[in-house]
A and B are shown apart, each in its own frame.
Chain A
Amino acid sequence: MAKSIIDGLFGKSPISPLQHHMTSVHSCIAELKDFMVAIHAQDWDKAEEIRSKIGDKEGEADVLKKKLRLSLPSTFMMPFSRRDLLDLLLIQDSIANLTKDVSGLMINRKMTLPNEIFEDVIELTSVCIKTSATALKAVNELDELLETAFGNRERKVVGSIISDINELESESDRIQHVIRTKLFPLEADLPPVDVMFYYRAVEWLGELADAAQKVGSRLEVLLAK
C-alpha cells in the first residue's frame, strides 16, 4: 500500500542519533581512567586491551557520525539550524578522537608517569570524564527541549547544566596548572624527551575537557534562536 503523505512529511529526528553518538563518545573517554591506572602499574597487556577498546568505541562513534550526517538532507526543516547541529556533532566526535590520540601516544611511548604527578593526572582524567558526562547530560536534555518547543523553563535547566560544565573545565585548568608546577622542579632529573611528552599528555587531557566544554557552548548556540 502506498505510503501516506502525512507520514512522508516527517523526517527522521536527528536528536536521538545525536544523543547516541554522544553516549558512544562518552563511553570511549570513560575508559581513560582505568587506562591511566594500568599505565602507571606498567601493566602493558591491560593497557593495550583498554586502548583497543577505546579504538573500537571511537570507530563506533565515527560510524554513528557518518550515519547522522547522511540522514540530514538539506530539505529538512528543523527547530535548529543544520549547520549548528553538524558542528555540535563534530565537536562531540573530537572528544573520542582526542581520547584515542592520548591513549595511543602513551602506550606507544610506554609512558610511565612520575609518582609525584600520578595522583594529579588521575584527578585530571576524572575531571575530564566528569565534564564529558555532564556534556552528555546536557545533550540528553535535547528531547525535553523539543517537548517544550525550546521553552524558557527547560532552557534554564540546560543552562545550569552548561554552567556545571564550565566549572568542571576551570577545575581541569587548575589541575593542569598544579601538574605543571610540580613537573618543573623535576625536569632536571627526568629524561628531557619524556618531560616534553608529559607536558604534551597533560595538554591533551586539558583539551579533552575543553572539547567537552565546547559541546556545552555549541548547545547554547543551538538554543539561542
Chain B
Amino acid sequence: MSVVTNTTTIGAIELPSRRNTELMLLGFAVVIPIFAYANVGLAIDGKLPPGMVVYGLALAVVAGIAHLVVRRFAKYADPLLLPLGILLNGLGLVLIWRLDQSVRLQNLAKRAYGGFSESAPNQMIYTALGIALFCGVLLVLKDHRTLQRFTYISMAVALVLLILPIVPGLGADVFGAKIWIRVGGFSIQPGEFAKIVLAVFFAGYLMVKRDALALASRRFMGLYLPRGRDLGPILMIWAMSLLILIFENDLGTSLLFFGMFVIMLYVATERTSWIVIGLLMSVGGAVVVASFSGHVGARVAAWTDPFGCWERGGLDAGACEQIAQSIMSFGSGGVLGAGWGQGNSDLIGFAANSDFIFSTVGEELGLAGVMAFLMVYGLIIERGVRTALAARDPFGKLFAIGLSGAFALQIFVVAGGVMGLIPLTGMTMPFLASGGSSVLANWALIGILIRISDTARRPAPAPAPSPDSEMTQVVRPS
C-alpha cells in the first residue's frame, strides 16, 4: 500500500446501483411462481386455478412496492436478495396452495379437528405483512449501526422471547415441542424473531469484547484457551441453549443459537480454538440431553432407522413414520419428480405444509427441483456472506455473518432433517413453510441484510474538494 493515495479520484467513479438488474430479476421471480400456480391447477383440476390473476397481481404488486422502497431507501443494496426472497415466497405459496387441495389432508384435519381451513390465504396475508415489515425495516433503520446501542436490551428481549413458550397459559405444546405461544387467535413462534434479536446482541457484545477474547488467552496444546472470566458469557449461551432444548424440546432452535454464536465468535476473534471449544460443548450438551430427553431420543431413533422403528410401533412410531414417509417422498420423486400437484407427499400427514414442505419439492420437482431450491438458498447465503465481507464496520460484519450463518444453519438443519441426513428438529424452511412468524422474521432478516449491503456498497461520500489536487502531479513508484 502506497502512502501516496489520491482519494479524490474514487469519488468520481459512481458505483452502479444495480436497481434495474433487481427489477428484471424480480420480473422472473414473479413470473415463475405464476407459471407454477397455473401448472398445479392444471395438474389437479385440469383447468387454470381460480384467482390466478389475483394471485399474480398481488405478488407483482407486493414485489413492486418492495422494489420501490429499496430503490428509494437502499439504493446501493445487493440486487439479488429481494428477487430470491420473492421467488421462494411465491413458490412457497404455490406449494401450500397445492397441499390445501389434498383430499387426504382435508380428511385428516376433519377427523382430528372437525374441520379444515386452507393455509394459503393466511400465508398470503403473512406474505403481505412480511413485505410490509421488510419495507418498515428499510424505512426505520437508516443505518444498521444504530442497533449497536441496543446490545443489552436485545439480550433481555431475546431471553424473554425464548422463555415465553414455557410460561404457563401462554405457551402451546404442539406435537411435543413447546415453541409456540398463543395470543388471541394467533400462534407465534418467538424463536424465529429471537434469531434476529440475538444476532444484534452477539454482534454488539463481540465487537466490544473481541480483543479481550482474542488476545488475552493462554496457549495450551496448540490452542489458545480463553481466560475464565471471558468464558463466562459463552458458558451462559451454552447453558441457555441447553435449557431451550430441555424445557422446550426444541433441538433446532438451540442448535441454531449456539451455532450462530460460535460462528460470530470465531469471526470476531479469528481464533480457531473457539470453534473447537464450541463443537465440544455442543456435542457434549447434545449427548447429555439426548440420553435424558425422551423426545430427542425418539428423534435420534427415527433418524438412525426410520423404517425399522416405524414397523416396531410404540410411542415413537409417529415420528419414525413421518421421516420414513418423507424419505420415500424424495425417493419416489426421482430425478425429474412427479410434477407439481401430482405427487403424494401428503402421505406424511399433518406436518406436510410446515416442517415437511421440502418433501413436496422433493417428490414433485425431483432431484432437479431440490437442487435448484438449494442453490437459491445457497445464493441468499452467499450474498449474505458477501455483504459481511464488504461491510466496513465490525458491527455490520458480525451482524451480517450472524444472520447469514443462522440462515445457512437453518436450511441445513431443516432440509437435512427431512432428508434423513441429521435428526429431525422441527424447524421451518424459510419462506416455504406455512406459518406467519417464519415469513415475517425471514423478511425482516432480508431487510436487514439489504440495509447492511446498501451501507457497504454505498460510495464513500465525496471528500471536500482539495485545492491541491488540481495542481499536484502524483508520481507513483512502480
Q: Do A and B bind each other?
A: no
